[in-house]
Structure 1
Amino acid sequence: MSNQTAMINRYKWYEMIAIYAGIALFLIFVLSPFVEGFLVSLKPLSRLFSSPYRFWPEHGSFDAYVTMWDSVPGFARYVFNSIFLSTIATAIVLVLVVPAAYAFARFEFTGRGPLLAAFLAVNMFSGAVLLIPLFRLMRSMGVLNTYAAMIIPGVAFLIPTAIWLLRTYMIRIPKELEEAAYVDGASRFYTFRRVILPLAMPGITVVAITTFIGAYAQQFIFALTFNSKTEYMPLPIGLFAYFGRQEVIWNELMAASFVGIAPAMIVIFFLQRYLVSGLTAGAVK
């Protein structure tokens, strides 16, 4: 506690004001679109474009959160599809990435550097650039208009970042722990399962959270290209298909959007302590 106090006291009063003013300004820019969107969801449709502008909605209510279930046919199915696609993609990524990150962190093999660089280069390309070859690939595999058509390319784009994140964390795990296990007669697989995995769990949790959010956010472009069946549509396509073809009911659109992002917000809210601990673990030896 005394060290924290010393760190705080080393700033002068005007420096503290500048720091908190900068933080406040950053939060205003980041949160204002979400605040405005939420307020739009509370306003009656007839008052959305009224003049003069009112920040707090007059006669605001949560009616849009009730009526949007009827206005967007199959809304519950769209939400389920988004959660299902993100969950399956996250599970596949973890199964593939955990042993791969361990191999890149511990083993020296030919082409390790170029392969890591290639993984990093994948993130430089937008998914839109590869839509045509991906479409041909999905068609040749016979998985168009299925969940797999959206999961496979999503996993492919999520794996490189996950490998880099988890590899960096596993490098920080002391090799002496594995060597001690080998001396005691443990096999490599037993050491990986009983020594490395428990120690790497904070890093794996970070990768799982970021992968789930990434999979939840990238569904639009793949679903729009590789799927045309309503029963497989994720939430972004469901909202786009409905609100893009007729009059836009803005308050219901905002309400549906906030309900749609609720699963990701819930994941972050309940796992944020694991996220913070995973990001900071190993920062100080």
Structure 2
Amino acid sequence: MKNSKPMIDRYTWYETIGIYAGIAVLMFFVLAPFIEGFLVSLKPLALLFSSPYSFWPENGSFTAYFTLWDRVPMMGWYIFNSLLLAFVITVVVMCLVVPAAYAFARFEFPGRGALLGAFLAVNMFSGAVLLIPLYRLMRSLGVLNTYFAMIVPGVAFLIPTAIWLLRAYMMRIPRELDEAAWVDGASRLYTLRRVILPIAMPGIMVAAIATFIGAYAQQFIFALTFNSKTEYMPIGVGLFAFFGRQEVIWNELMAACFIGITPALLIIVFLQRYLVAGLTAGAVKQ
């Protein structure tokens, strides 16, 4: 009879304590910057640099979360722009990546390995390295100071990662499914749409979530370079309003950061079941 005890119960008491202690230490280093940033947002500005430094905020309040809207009236519009850009980039990337990942996973063609290596090499370059040629390209296309100036480079930089993620997932889907569909007279496109896509949906969701996070996080450098109009600015550029010539409004800046990441965080939490399903799919042999 197989042992039905949970894996964690198979360790000795001191091994269990060591495991949970290691997890606690890891979580502390991961969450400490967010906790400190949140506490800073609760402190009055005059007490942020007091000596001795107090970790827990004295006379803390959520005042900064309300006053920041007076300092940056278009904060809501900046958040909307960030979500819009991230959503459009994610949709475009997934529309291009799904058939590309299927082709790389199923077809043998000359130069496939070199092309995959080239996609991987793209991730080695920072966007700052290519800002000048990208600026000249955007200017020649006439899309400066538009959403397209941020969407086009965002799509270009996120496609390689999404292809590698989704290709690895599709390679685990048995080829016999494709062959069975071909025997029944299905075309390649029909096989992809009706056979492969339903099975690959967890992997597609993982790639989509990773793309959305990347699109939401990398908007600053492109928006700062290719756009000068306030109505197109994402939240990253909008946060510059808190950096004054004489001082930085740190408590309102931290409050704005948490407000800015909340919509994306809610979307990720809502889709986390797909993320877990995609990451664990294929981990156990049936």
TM over 0.5: yes
CA distance in 2, matches of 1:171, 1:190: 18
Shift of 1:50: 2.2
CA distance in 2, matches of 1:119, 1:75: 36
Shift of 1:13: 2.0
Shift of 1:242: 4.2
CA distance in 1, matches of 2:4, 2:85: 43
Shift of 1:51: 2.6
CA distance in 2, matches of 1:167, 1:179: 19
| Correspondence 1:140-159 to 2 at 5 A | 140-159=140-159
Aligned to 2:34: 34
Q: Is the 8 A contact 2:40 2:254 kept in 1?
A: yes
The answer to whether structure 1 residue 7 and structure 2 residue 7 are counterparts is: yes
CA distance in 1, matches of 2:231, 2:186: 49
The answer to whether structure 1 residue 102 and structure 2 residue 98 are counterparts is: no
Q: Which letter does structure 2 place at the counterpart of 1:206?
A: V
Aligned to 1:46: 46
Deviations along 1:242-270, one digit per CA (max 9) or x if unpaired, are: 42545311111111110001112111211
| Correspondence 1:84-103 to 2 at 5 A | 84-103=84-103
Secondary structure (helix, strand or coil) at the match of 1:61 reads: coil
Aligned to 1:274: 274
Matched residues, percent identical?
Answer: 76
Deviations along 1:43-81, one digit per CA (max 9) or x if unpaired, are: 112222223322221221111111111111311111111
Aligned to 2:173: 173
Number of positions where the alignment pairs a residue of Structure 1 with one of Structure 2: 284
Deviations along 1:76-119, one digit per CA (max 9) or x if unpaired, are: 11111101110000000000000000000000111000000000
Structure 2: stretches of 5+ with no match in the other structure: none
The answer to whether structure 1 residue 68 and structure 2 residue 68 are counterparts is: yes
Q: Which letter does structure 1 place at the counterpart of 2:281?
A: A
Shift of 1:3: 4.9
Normalised to the residue count of structure 1, the TM-score between the two structures is 0.96
Aligned to 1:188: 188
The answer to whether structure 1 residue 82 and structure 2 residue 113 are counterparts is: no
Q: Which letter does structure 2 place at the counterpart of 1:208?
A: A
Deviations along 1:140-160, one digit per CA (max 9) or x if unpaired, are: 111111111111011100000
Aligned to 1:226: 226
Aligned to 2:163: 163
CA distance in 1, matches of 2:44, 2:32: 20
CA distance in 1, matches of 2:50, 2:238: 29
Structure 1 window deviating more from structure 2 (265-274 vs 96-105): it is: 265-274
Secondary structure (helix, strand or coil) at the match of 1:50 reads: coil
Normalised to the residue count of structure 2, the TM-score between the two structures is 0.95
The answer to whether structure 1 residue 236 and structure 2 residue 236 are counterparts is: yes
Aligned to 1:114: 114
CA distance in 2, matches of 1:195, 1:232: 40
Structure 1: stretches of 5+ with no match in the other structure: none
Structure 1 window deviating more from structure 2 (239-248 vs 266-275): it is: 239-248
The answer to whether structure 1 residue 263 and structure 2 residue 263 are counterparts is: yes
Structure 1 window deviating more from structure 2 (167-176 vs 18-27): it is: 18-27
Change beyond 3 A, Cα 1:245–1:215: farther
Aligned to 2:130: 130
Change beyond 3 A, Cα 1:91–1:7: same
Shift of 1:18: 1.6
Q: Is the 8 A contact 2:202 2:277 kept in 1?
A: yes
Q: Which letter does structure 2 place at the counterpart of 1:73?
A: P
Change beyond 3 A, Cα 1:244–1:136: farther
Shift of 1:240: 1.5
CA distance in 1, matches of 2:60, 2:147: 39
Q: Is the 8 A contact 2:78 2:234 kept in 1?
A: yes
CA distance in 2, matches of 1:239, 1:106: 45
